[in-house]
Structures are given as structure tokens and as C-alpha cells.
Chains A and B, each alone.
Chain A
Amino acid sequence: MKKMQKKIYMAAGYNTISMGTGRKEFNPKKERPGLEYYITEAGRGTLAQINGAVNVDESVIGNFMASRFNNQGHLAGFIPMIDEGLKFKPSIRVEAACASGGMALITGIKNVLAGADTVLTIGVEVQNTMKAIYGADVLAGAGWYKKRKEGHAYFFPDQFGKRAGAYFDKYGKDYTRKGLSRWYANAIENARLCPTAQEYHNTNPDPESTCFKMEPNGKSFVDYLNVLDCSKVSDAASAIAILSETGLIKCGIDRKDAVEVVGFATSERNITLEPSDLTVMETIKDAAHKALANAGVSIHDLATIETHDCFTIAGILSVEALGFAKPGEGADFVFKGNTARNGLIPINTTGGLIGWGHPTGGTGVHQAVTIWEQLTGRTGEAQIEISEKKPYGLSINMGGDDVSVVTIVYKKEL
């Protein structure tokens, strides 16, 4: 994609609560809502804002591993369950590990480019069906299966832990951990402002020092990250409508209540190879700069970013990949508050994956909903100031260890 061939918009976003440990109402011993509940709540949340299913031409659902978490494949079949009006309409399920939600958005955008006016796009994952130790096996499916045997019990925390370890070696452990801990604190402080966030009920008065003091312990977890450096196990769904100009009119949506998609990119790295440099997220770098180039904007035009901080180190490395900080300076950039909600570039303003939650296949759509909320002034207590000089938002959704990356640039309608 070089330039958008026609105007594409997103509107009518909806997030369910991100359910899991941290939420007061979460009880792992009691039966909880399943996939159907989350898909329906999110889907209906969006339909209610676009005057019903009659206006939907097609649907896309992004999901990573319902086949193992929920013993359920064939998720496209759940779309007509949301509303009778979706019966016999096209529906497709897409998968790209934790970038499944982002890939659903891209599929929706392409559908609109191909002629559809309104695409209902949903991302969902319900992961609290098993203990984390078994969930780690499922999530390891985002890596290369042939590496699973030699991998760690907690496969992905270890993968990203190795990135953190490499960063420690290059730039210093305490220096890095200060940045990681500030990233964690930003996530918690932002999540406390968002009622659907998994960490909304977190009352720790000093999350930064809690994270810093918690030394990584390889005997019980992984060598270079502690549990607070990791996103949580989440059940949630998000939905948003992707629309053409005609779609906006059909759905009765004012342009001011929508964001324009002004650029996007997807980028793929060979899953069978190790990253060439553990301290660089090369696919994120590639995809982010392609999307920004397509949109014709620079990082300095961005009002906010939703980035894929499945682990705190991924947040630091994203900041460097984007070019806000030079290699090795990302930790300091974050530590100094530049990515906080009142900083130079507010990132993950409702908590991101660590604070809001990480329903793996749903995360990409949640990111789009958050950017849409911020750019249209719908974020409630978590709202940041969006100046007319910087009317853009960027989302970065990653699958696996920097393998599949989806980036989208959004513009506030002025």
C-alpha cells in the first residue's frame, strides 16, 4: 500500500471489560462467561452505534487460539449470533497470533477498499479457561513449534526476557529496570482511569517501586523479567465499525464521531529464525515507518500511540523502533516520563496490554477502539488533550516475537 485509494473511517468502537486477575469480580473458581458472551456484547455494542445490523455489509472476527482455550474453531459462525440481521452476510475469521485483532482490522479495511461500505470488526480471546502454566503452551503456538521443546515453561515471558537480558548486558541492568518499572507504573496509573481495564481496581500507591524491587527469579519464573513486567491473562472482546464515506452516511455517523484511517502496514518476519538483534524490534520498526510514510506523517505529528507492550521490554524497544529514542536510550526516555499520559508522547493511555489487559486475539481491535476514543473525546477520565497540531494516532499490534506486525495511522476529523 502506498496511499489510501479511498477514504476509510473507523467509528462506533466498543470494549468489554478485560476480565481476569486484578478485577474484583473475577473468581477463577466460579463459572464465567465464554466466547459467546464476549463476542455478543462487543458486537452489539458497535451495532447499537451504527443503527443496527442492517447497515453491516460484512464482518471480520480476529482470534488467536479459541481452538485450544475454548475447544472452539470456526468463529465466523458466531457472527450471526450477535444479531439476526447478520444472517447470510459474509463473515470471516482471521488469525495472526496476538496480531489477530490487528489483522482483522486490516482485513476489514481491505474489504472496504474492495467495495464494502461497513465492516463490523471484532477481536476476541477468552483465556481464563486454564491455568497460566497450560496457557503458556497455548500461547507458545505464536512461536515456531519446533522451538517449543527447548523453550521455557513460560515460553514467551522467557523469549522477551532474553530481550530484556540482552538490553541489560548492553546498557546496564538497573538502568533498564528503571525504565521497565516506569513503563509498568504508567500502565497501572492509566488503567485506573479506565473502568473496563483489568487493573482498574489496582490501588498500589507506588507501582513503580513495587516493580523495581521485585527481582526476576529464574527458579520460579524467568531470568530477566518479573511477573509485573508481563501482560495478564485476559478474557475480553472489542468491536469497531470500518466504514467508507457512504458507510458513514448509511450508519448516520457524523465525521466528527469517526477517525480516518490515513495509513496502514503489515509486516512479517520469518518465524523459524531468531531475531537478528535481541535489542531491536525490526518488524515493528519496519511496519511503523511504512504506515507513517503511507500516511505522510512523522512521529512528531502523533498525539498518542497504542503499542503492543505484552512485556515492558517490548514497550521500551517500541519507543526505540519508532525513533523517539536512540538504541539504548529508550529506557531513559520512558523513565523520564516522556511516554506518560502527560508526557511528550502519551502511549497506551488506558493501560495498554499490561494495564488494560491482553485478550490476545482481541488486542489489536482494542487498540483501535482506544485511539478512536481518544481522537473523538470519548475516553472519560482517561482522556488526554488532542491538539489540532497533532491530530494523529498510531496503533502497533504484534504477533509472536516481532513476527507479524500490524500498524495503523488514524486521524482526528478536524
Chain B
Amino acid sequence: MTYDERMQKVSVLGAAGKMGSGILLLTAVEMCNLSLKPENRGKSFVLYAIDISEEGLNGLMKYLKVQIRRIAEKKMVWLREVYAHRADLIENGQIIEEYIFDVMNLVRPITAIEAAFNSNLIFEAIAENQDFKVKIFKKIDQNNQGKPWIFTNTSSIPISVLNKEAGLDGRILGFHFYNPPAVQHLVELITIKENTRQMKEFAIAYAKSLKKVVVPSNDFAGFIGNGHFMRDALHCIAEAENLMKEFSFAESIYIINKISQDYLVRPMGIFQLIDYVGIDVVRFILAVMNPYNPSENLHSPLLDSLFDLNVKGGQNSDGSQKDGLLKYEKGKPVAVFDLQKRDYISISEFSAKCDEYLGALPEKWQPWKSVNFSKNKEELLKAYFAAIKGMDTVGAQLAKVCHNRSAQIGKQLVNSGVANSDEDVNTVLLTGFYHAYGPINNYLQ
């Protein structure tokens, strides 16, 4: 089966979800582009958008329409060539409308899993629940005579476990997009020894066509991305808990969030990132990873407590941030949840006290946005961390501790065989987490 033939019948499971909708969009566009090739004219390309939520599927179709338009507007030069044979399509606007129709026309929103029984390729982006995934995979595989390939978006469950439990004979691999899939350039590719060469080549070809950066990760729970994020988060939680001896809960969270954002020059603080992913999701990932890492305790009672109080974070269907550890206004944190008071406390009430405790940021400091998009990024970072290295304020000390721990986690991922190289770890953090620099670096040496 050629690449184009396999892409003629595809399903996305969990298509209305946060990750599924992005995967569906990218796949629908890819399939449409294939269908528009002269040699594929007249051939049928069908993409089943499978989800349990009717409401979610309605929202999905609206999301698709908006996003396909954006994509079309950016490739107008190419689209005019593609539709050159259509005498009725003259203006850019007409061609864009036709392209939107052509992409959406191959998407079949449906709530029945049976739709996947005839697909050659199945992308899975359902809840991060091993038993549920295994059950669904088994059902599809038993009813699909075409021996479909399954690309799972799991961010933590070992692929070899899913393969064995569902009896897939190596017809599954990890194809882990980052959130949001339509924007983030990174894909972690997790293959297992049972995968065929054709399957791996197809996965790489598909990623390349989507213009994704592929980083191979070995099949260890959490892979590279969550392998770093979860341990980094747990370390920061521990640092915050340490501060709670002197500061309130909210103040401690604020301080470490500031350290992990401003002092480490990251796009968001660690607690904002936990909210972005969702406290419930982070707990789930930790729970998946923990049994596979017996020498570590990948678990946070603090996150359990927040979860029990229904403080969960995550995102609304329109992509806006839900309140979690932090409360947000127009996407920016304005208050911190206080576990003792069980309510949000405005950051303005205590930020001055905490900022004074941390001391001033070095003069060389610039926010992540300025640094990350600067042509002189490397020099800016070197100068900034050189300044931090020579400072003994509390802020600088905490920054050094958190920076070194992040580097240590990165090294650990390489040493334990999760990642093949320092570069792979750094690429994941740079492209999947939008960090301005990789965790394995020499800035503080």
C-alpha cells in the first residue's frame, strides 16, 4: 500500500478533544492535498472524526472551518496552481472557499467507533487511560480486516504495553503531537521493535509532510517530553513546599512560578504550565509513569489535594485557560489558589513582598518573548546566566537550583536510554515547550 493509498481511509479517535481536533485538522488538510494531486482526482479520501461527544463534534466542524481558512490563506500561491484547471474559480477568495469545502468534504463526524472498522490508519487521541485505550484498540482490530496501523498520541503509556495488551502485532507506534498540534512543530516518535520498516517510514513521511520536527524517543513511560516536564514540575512543587515554612501557600506558588518563568526565561511558569496541561492530566501522567520508575516517587499529594477540591485547570473548548492553581484574566495569571483558604488571592496583595524577598532581576534580564525571537538569543542568554551565576540574591539562588535540576533531568533521560542524545532532549524542550534554550547547556558552568 502506497502512502497515498493508506491515507485514503483514516480515522481519528477522540477527534473533538484538545489534541484530537488538531490532529484531525492536520490530517484532513494532508488528505485533501493528496486528493488534489492530478493522479488522485476521482479517488475517494475519507476521514472519520470519531468522538463520543455530539456537541464536541459540532464544535470541531466550526474549528475546522476557521483553521482551514487560515491555512489556505497562507498557501494561496500554491492553491492557485492546484485549482488552475477549474475555470470557474477565478479569485483568491473563491479558491479559498473551494479549498475549505474540499477539506471539510472528506471529514465525516461520527460518534460510532464502527466507523474505524474500515480505516487503514487510525490516529488515537482519547483519554490517557491504558485500559480504555487497549479496549478500543482490541475492538477495532478484531473488526477491521485491513490490519490497520494505529498511531497513538499517548504522552506517557509505553507503546510496547499497548501493543501487547491489545494484541496488535507491532501495528502501533507512538506519534506524540504537542499541544496545540496545529501550531507546535514537535512530534515525538516512539517506535517499538515489532514495527515494520514500512510503518516507520510512513510515520516519518507523514510527519515530514506536516512539516513537523521528529524527535525519536525510546519506549519509556513519559518519553522525553513528559519525562522532563513531570520531574521538573515535581521539583518545583518541592521547592514551593519548602518555601511554605516561611510563606503562605499562595506566596510560595507565586515565587516558584516567577522563578520558573522570569528567572529561567521560559514562556510560562511551571504552575501555569501545569494549569495549561490540566492538573487532572498531570496527575494521570504521573500515575502512568510512577510504576515504571520504581527508584523515584513520581507523585504529588499537593496535586491530589487540588484535584479533590476540583481545582483542575485545563482549557475551555475555545482554547481559553480555565482557572487552576492560578486564576486567569485574558490568559494572564492574576491570583493564586490558596489551599488553606480554599480561595484565590490576588497576586497584587503579596507580589511586592515576594519580589523583595527574591531581590531584583539582573539588568541583563529580558523576558522570554524578547530573548526567544532575538537574533542574538545565544549572547543574551549567556550574558544573563553569567549575571545570575555571580549573584547571591534568593531569586538567583533558586534560579540556579531549578536550572541545574532541569539539566540533571535532561541528562538522566539520556543516561537512562529514554533519549538518544542531549540534542534530542533539547529539541523537545525547544520545539515542544517553546523554551528559549535546551535544559542541557553550559550557561552556569
**A contact set with B: CB distance below 8 Å:** 131, 133-134, 136-137, 140, 148-149, 152-154, 218-221
Q: Which residue of B lies closest to A155 (CB)?
A: B92
Query: Does A133 contact B91, Cβ atoms closer than 8 Å?
Result: no
Q: Are A149 and B90 in contact (CB under 8 A)?
A: yes
Q: Does B1 belong to the interface (CB within 8 Å)?
A: no
Q: How far is the CA of A149 from the CA of B96 in the complex (A)?
A: 14
B334 located at the interface, meaning its Cβ lies under 8 Å from any Cβ of chain A in the complex: no
- What are 23 A-B pairs with beta-carbon distances under 8 A? A131-B73, A133-B76, A133-B92, A133-B96, A134-B92, A134-B93, A136-B92, A137-B91, A137-B92, A137-B93, A140-B91, A148-B91, A149-B87, A152-B77, A153-B76, A153-B79, A153-B80, A153-B92, A154-B76, A218-B77, A219-B77, A219-B78, A220-B77
Instruction: Classify the secondary structure of B's interface with A.
Output: helix
Q: Is the CB of B73 within 8 A of A133?
A: yes
Q: Is the interface of A mostly helix, strand, loop or mixed?
A: loop
Name the distance in Å between A154's Cβ and chain B's nearest Cβ. 8
Per-residue contact bits, chain B 75-98, to A (CB 8 Å; 1 contact, 0 not): 011111000000100111100100
- Interface positions of B from 84 to 115, Cβ below 8 Å from A: 87, 90-93, 96
Cα–Cα distance between A107 and B113 once the two chains are bound (Å): 70
- The answer to whether B80 and A152 have CB atoms under 8 Å apart is yes
Nearest neighbor of B70 in chain A, beta-carbon distance: A131
Chain B residue nearest to A140 (CB atoms) is B91
**CA A140 to CA B80, docked complex, whole Å:** 15
Give chain B residues whose Cβ lies under 8 Å from the Cβ of A140.
91
Inter-chain contacts of A149 with B (CB < 8 A): 87, 90
Number of residues of chain B lying within 8 A (CB) of chain A: 12
A364 to B: closest C-beta gap in Å: 26
Inter-chain contacts of A148 with B (CB < 8 A): 90-91
B residues near A218, Cβ cutoff 8 Å: 77
- Chain A hits for B76, CB < 8 A: 133, 153-154
* 7 closest A-B pairs by CB: A153-B76, A137-B91, A153-B77, A149-B90, A133-B73, A137-B92, A153-B80
C-alpha spacing A218/B76, complex, angstroms: 11
Give chain A residues whose Cβ lies under 8 Å from the Cβ of B91. 137, 140, 148
The residues of A that contact B80 with a CB separation of less than 8 Å are: 152-153
Give Cα distance in the complex from A335 to B68, angstroms.
43
| B333-367 interface bits toward A, Cβ cutoff 8 Å, 1 = contact, 0 = none | 00000000000000000000000000000000000
- Per the bound structure, the CA–CA distance linking A153 and B80 in Å amounts to 7
Residues of A within 8 A of B73 (CB): 131, 133
Closest to B83 in A: A149
User: Distance in Å from the Cβ of B201 to the closest Cβ of chain A?
Assistant: 26
> How many Å from the CB of B87 to the closest CB on chain A?
7
Question: How many angstroms between the C-alpha atoms of A290 and B87 in the bound complex?
Answer: 42
Collect the chain A residues with CB atoms within 8 Å of residue B77's CB: 152-154, 218-221
Task: Return the CB mask of B160-190 against A: 1 if under 8 Å, else 0.
Answer: 0000000000000000000000000000000
Neighbouring B residues of A154 by C-beta, 8 Å: 76-77
Residue of B nearest to A137 (CB): B91
Question: Which residues in B have their C-beta under 8 angstroms from that of A220?
Answer: 77
The residue in chain A whose Cβ has the minimal distance to the Cβ of B87 is A149
CA distance A221 to B77 in the complex (A): 7
Bound CA span A148–B92, Å: 10
Residues of A within 8 A of B78 (CB): 219
